[in-house]
Structure 1
Amino acid sequence: MREGDKVPEPKCATVYPHLIHAHAIKTAIRDPTSVLNNLITLYSQSNLLSDAVRLFHQIPSPNVVSWTALISAHAKTRLSLHHFISMLRHPTLPNQRTLASLFKTCASLPHISFGLQLHSLSLKLSLAHLPFSGSALVHLYSRCRLPVEARKVFDEIPLRDEVCYAAIIVGLAQNSRSTDALSLFTDMRSAGIGSTMYSVSGALRAASEVAALEQCRIIHAHAVVIGLDLNIVVGTALVDGYGKSGLVLDAHHVFSALLPDVNIVGWNAMMSGYAQQGDKQSVLELFSRMVDHGFVADDYSFLAILTACSNAGSVPEVQKWLNSMKSDYGLKPGIEHYTCVVGAMARAGQLEEAKHLAMTMPFEPDAAVWRTLLSACAIHGAADMAWVVGQRLLELDSQDDSAYAILANVHATAGRWEEVAQVRKQMKVRRVRKEGGQSWIEVCGEVHVFLAGDRRHERTMEIYAKLTDLMEDVKKLGYVEVSDAMLHEVEAAEKKEALWYHSEKLAVAFALISGAAPPGKPVRVVKNLRICRDCHEAFKYLSRVIEREIVVRDVNRYHRFVNGLCACGDYW
């Protein structure tokens, strides 16, 4: 034969690597080392690692490709790191493919300290800026929750390909840098670099994180154009994106198009979309269909069910499904599952029972558990328990400004002004400042962000004029400002203005004057914090004044205001 370093590949190559090996031995080949390198990779891909290692030791003088094949064969295990040390002692220096495999191993373990040393070595060898090693390094820093470092590595890669862009877009999306991820997706398309299922799904994840509905639709259109809309990874991201944007009908259309190929992740994403809307019936129906299709429910499936039942305040059903998760499916509930049960009990007014469960569950209660209880105490006016639960929460996170606000309000409602003063004093001593609320709304794919009392927008005069008219209209229907304990000592006129010009109210006013919400279409607003009681009350009246639905996605859940009522039942 004269093929040089290539191994013939019969049709049975991936099934019978030993036959390929025997064929290579019988054939006269000029470059046996190259052939053995390929065979090492072939054995490892066939999960025959012992054969791959045995073959490696038969190479008289292994080169960098040989070592890389061995290291890659043990990817995502500590053995690959040990083989790398042996390689350096041989001595043989790595190439960018060697480092790429090692960076992926460090990301999966995770092993950031070894990864930092590899990064240093890659800089010394001028390999950090190459696409293979650079994209793997971006992935490592992203997995280790270091998005700033990941972005720095990406920016230093001069020749970026689709793999590099996919790594940084996915990494930023995973680290809640949604705006940056979407911006880089736009840059990638402008640079003429092709999209992959990873870059598209990463961009969709970023859009869903901020409930950027128009961005989801734009990326969906792009996926259709490039033929990725029916790809399972992209399709599942679309289901998740539309679900988190509040459009469960659109999510269901995408989901249905993926059937019957959709996997368990897709089923869970669809159930989660319904759960966020508090649509318990649809979640349970979908769960039944999933089981009929032969899928076995996992932790996320039950989390969707428990979330939906908790939002509905159905304590018996929550307990039933938690027991089913353990006894029927052999799954061990996590703290997030118990949080749903605590939330259901608290919502139903069973505060003592909810507190007892929080104290006796097989996990140390985290901030989410205590915050759930504290919110319930506020809803039910349980000032005494609110104080105890609030202090527990502040022990875990003394800088949680929302906890102080809820504590102050629940005691103000009970007329306990000494406790309100004590809460304020705690904030002052601990130098806690109430985080500024931000609300945003999309118009033609552009996101407009508002702060409380914001006057930076180019259409500020129109926005404030419209909002004044709206607030006068809701007052005629019976709306009365719901005071905030933090504004107790503020003059009445200032207090009214502070409440009127909250960020979500400004966003709604802008939506109405800008055409962001045409007649008959819902007004959609996203908020970074929990919607305040006054805005919640005002929006119930506003939905009657403007005769359309108002959808607000706050940090806790979706609120759908229709004809004077909210789907949350005034509990959030």
Structure 2
Amino acid sequence: MGADPRRAHARAITSGDAATNRGALNNLITLYSKSGRRSEALRVFESIPSPNVVSWTSLISTFHDSTLSFRHFLSMLRHRRRILPNNRTLAALLKTCASLSALSFGLQVHSLARKLGLSSEPFTASALVSFYCKTGFVDHARKVFDEMLDKDEVCFSSMVVGLAQNSRPVEALYYFAEMRRAGVVSTMYSVSGALRAASEMAMFEQCRILHGHTVMTGLDLNVVVGSALIDGYGRCGLVREARAMFDELEMVLNVVGWSTMMSGYAQQGDFKNVIELLGLMQERGMKPDQYSFLAVLTAFYHAGMAEEAERWFGRMKEEYGLEPWLEHYTCLIGAMGKAGELESAETVALTMPFEPDAAVWRALLSTSTYHGKTDIAWKMRDKLLEINPNDDSAYVLLANAFASAGRWDEVKEEWKTMKDKRVRKEGGRSWIEVRGEVHVFLAEDRTHERRDEIYEKLAELMEAIERLGYVPVWNEMLHEVDEKQKREALWYHSEKLALAFGLLSGSTPPGKALRIVKNLRICRDCHEAFKYISRVVDREIIVRDVNRYHTFLNGSCSCGDNW
């Protein structure tokens, strides 16, 4: 918190600075602001006989999350002395615009910055980049960045973090690389942004490279960077590496850092380690928060343990006095749905103190499909479409339910409805990182330069697992076709192509785990095939799909066939 503003104010009064020294009063405004004493900050400002641009900027910054910031700015412009804003004034205003999602006012501030010739200056430009990224106008942010005259570490950090936060990981990593090439020093913000981008694509090699970079730059023991490394490794499924980083920083991490480690375990469905960390956190004198319990409930959801999810949900409210968020209810509903308690799960969805969102109805639709409850699935599909009529998953999941039941007329009707409403099914994509380069595959993809080798390797694998007893899983086929066509359609799914490429000579070192990411849920046939392939090649195969991590080894999967 720094110095006590009241003591500083008392010293200014006794020394006479409170009456004559405008700089001292400006500092007092800032001190009161940082202490959350806004009324005192305003009182000090009003005592200044002739406030300058620094005085006004200090006052505007005090109310950065309130429309009063705008009002004070307008008062400054209308002042009889015609005071114009400087870089810091505009940056403070843009921070307010981002906080309040005041796009229109932010655009006006940008226009004013151009007129004053300040829009390309690093301080203002960095604030503009942050503003546009936080309001979702990433291309505007890039344009501002590209027009900057001199790009410093703050400018690059704003761009990298903004792109990472807007799920544009490839661009975020590109700008981080550009920063390195330009010789600009890394900061805890640019590194943590790059780690977030790498982990979004599960680029574990990039996470390791970035970890090495933090060691070289001395940022590895920074709490913000350390937490980002724990999160990055956790999101990439490298929980051992995440735990090693956590153990190194344990004594300086706050509740956020602990919850981040718990979340890494939760994505694996490892509820034992999550609960163990929760206990250790309390032994260290820290109180779990909503994020901590989100990790707990996520772990039980992935493990399919409805009773435990309900018990910990109750403890969260009764013993810890924490009000659940919508995300906590979603985990509970999902766990109950997985356990087949579909009616009870629907009751929770309809009686919770939140309006159910798409994630809630999708969880119920998915689990009712899994249990073959087409009547409930149909109802959940309609609920989902009420929120977003163009949600392709609503149609696809219901079509899956009908296909599993052999009700092909209903499957065709779903496809016809999608076509009539011009809703397009999201295509499956899988990618694998090999020697620092990401290779992306689509279903039946023949664009890769090693396509002939890939298809030959895949045929070899499929023949080998059939000899071991693998039987294709047909019940998620969405078209009524003959067995030969079904077999070919299943063989060439994107995740199988990515796996075959990873097993080619020269792609990955022998014995090294193969890591694949898919943008959709892994299908049941690929899941079954990967269990057999892990036996054939005697390798660990790790797949991160849209729901969770799957670790295939010796013919079984860490999810217990429950996803």
Fold equivalence (TM over 0.5): yes
For residues 337-378 of structure 1, what are the alpha-carbon distances to aligned partners after superposition, in whole Å with 9 as ceiling and x for unaligned? 111111111111222222222222222222211211222122
Distance 2:127 2:480 in 1: 56
Distance 1:124 1:483 in 2: 65
Greater CA deviation, 11-20 or 507-516?
11-20
Cα 1:451–1:24 shift into 2, 3 Å: farther
Distance 2:64 2:358 in 1: 37
2:473 counterpart of 1:482: yes
Cα 1:110–1:514 shift into 2, 3 Å: farther
Distance 1:133 1:546 in 2: 56
Assess if the C-alpha contact under 8 Å between 2:302 and 2:548 holds in 1. Answer: no
Correspondence for 2:289: 298
2:68 counterpart of 1:79: yes
**Pairing 1:510-549 to 2, within 5 Å after superposition:** 510-549=501-540
* Structure 1 residue 285: Cα displacement: 0.4
Q: Which runs of 5+ in 1 are unaligned?
A: 1-10
Correspondence for 1:37: 26
Structure 1: 4+ residue segments shifted above 6 A = 11-15, 26-29
For residues 326-346 of structure 1, what are the alpha-carbon distances to aligned partners after superposition, in whole Å with 9 as ceiling and x for unaligned? 111221111211111111111
State the SS of the aligned residue for 2:521.
Answer: coil
Distance 1:27 1:356 in 2: 63
**Pairing 1:42-441 to 2, within 5 Å after superposition:** 42-90=31-79, 91-441=82-432
Distance 2:282 2:19 in 1: 56
Greater CA deviation, 322-331 or 264-273?
322-331
2:561 counterpart of 1:570: yes
Assess if the C-alpha contact under 8 Å between 2:490 and 2:525 holds in 1. Answer: yes
Correspondence for 2:443: 452
* Structure 1 residue 562: Cα displacement: 1.6
* Structure 1 residue 280: Cα displacement: 0.8
Assess if the C-alpha contact under 8 Å between 2:378 and 2:398 holds in 1. Answer: yes
* Structure 1 residue 210: Cα displacement: 1.3
Cα 1:12–1:486 shift into 2, 3 Å: closer
The RMSD of aligned alpha carbons is 2.2
State the SS of the aligned residue for 2:320.
Answer: coil
Assess if the C-alpha contact under 8 Å between 1:17 and 1:46 holds in 2. Answer: no
Assess if the C-alpha contact under 8 Å between 2:121 and 2:148 holds in 1. Answer: yes
For residues 465-488 of structure 1, what are the alpha-carbon distances to aligned partners after superposition, in whole Å with 9 as ceiling and x for unaligned? 111111111122222332366652
For residues 537-558 of structure 1, what are the alpha-carbon distances to aligned partners after superposition, in whole Å with 9 as ceiling and x for unaligned? 2111111111122110011111
* Structure 1 residue 385: Cα displacement: 1.9
Assess if the C-alpha contact under 8 Å between 1:342 and 1:355 holds in 2. Answer: yes
State the SS of the aligned residue for 1:439.
Answer: strand
* Structure 1 residue 417: Cα displacement: 1.9
* Structure 1 residue 185: Cα displacement: 0.6
Distance 1:27 1:423 in 2: 75
* Structure 1 residue 43: Cα displacement: 4.4
Q: Partner amino acid for 1:355?
A: E
Assess if the C-alpha contact under 8 Å between 2:262 and 2:296 holds in 1. Answer: yes
Distance 2:134 2:236 in 1: 25
Q: Partner amino acid for 1:248?
A: V
Q: Partner amino acid for 1:533?
A: R
Assess if the C-alpha contact under 8 Å between 1:110 and 1:144 holds in 2. Answer: yes
* Structure 1 residue 437: Cα displacement: 1.1
Distance 2:511 2:32 in 1: 62
For residues 483-503 of structure 1, what are the alpha-carbon distances to aligned partners after superposition, in whole Å with 9 as ceiling and x for unaligned? 366652445444332221111
State the SS of the aligned residue for 1:442.
Answer: strand
Q: Partner amino acid for 1:161?
A: D
Cα 1:38–1:370 shift into 2, 3 Å: closer
* Structure 1 residue 463: Cα displacement: 1.2
Distance 2:66 2:257 in 1: 29
Cα 1:51–1:443 shift into 2, 3 Å: same
Cα 1:389–1:76 shift into 2, 3 Å: closer
Assess if the C-alpha contact under 8 Å between 2:303 and 2:562 holds in 1. Answer: no
Assess if the C-alpha contact under 8 Å between 1:343 and 1:372 holds in 2. Answer: yes
Cα 1:45–1:569 shift into 2, 3 Å: closer
Q: Partner amino acid for 1:400?
A: D
Cα 1:196–1:456 shift into 2, 3 Å: same
Distance 1:163 1:15 in 2: 32
Distance 1:418 1:187 in 2: 54
Cα 1:28–1:555 shift into 2, 3 Å: closer
Distance 1:12 1:195 in 2: 30
State the SS of the aligned residue for 1:525.
Answer: strand
Distance 2:3 2:291 in 1: 39
* Structure 1 residue 14: Cα displacement: 6.8
* Structure 1 residue 51: Cα displacement: 4.5
Assess if the C-alpha contact under 8 Å between 2:476 and 2:523 holds in 1. Answer: no
Correspondence for 1:559: 550
Q: Partner amino acid for 1:551?
A: I
Distance 1:354 1:322 in 2: 14
Q: Partner amino acid for 1:83?
A: H
For residues 57-83 of structure 1, what are the alpha-carbon distances to aligned partners after superposition, in whole Å with 9 as ceiling and x for unaligned? 343332222222222233333322211
Distance 2:265 2:44 in 1: 53
State the SS of the aligned residue for 2:218.
Answer: coil
Q: Partner amino acid for 1:547?
A: D
Distance 2:296 2:58 in 1: 45
* Structure 1 residue 524: Cα displacement: 0.6
Question: What is the count of residue pairs matched by the alignment?
Answer: 560
Distance 1:365 1:37 in 2: 48
Assess if the C-alpha contact under 8 Å between 2:408 and 2:480 holds in 1. Answer: no
Assess if the C-alpha contact under 8 Å between 2:432 and 2:517 holds in 1. Answer: yes
Correspondence for 1:21: 12
State the SS of the aligned residue for 1:450.
Answer: strand
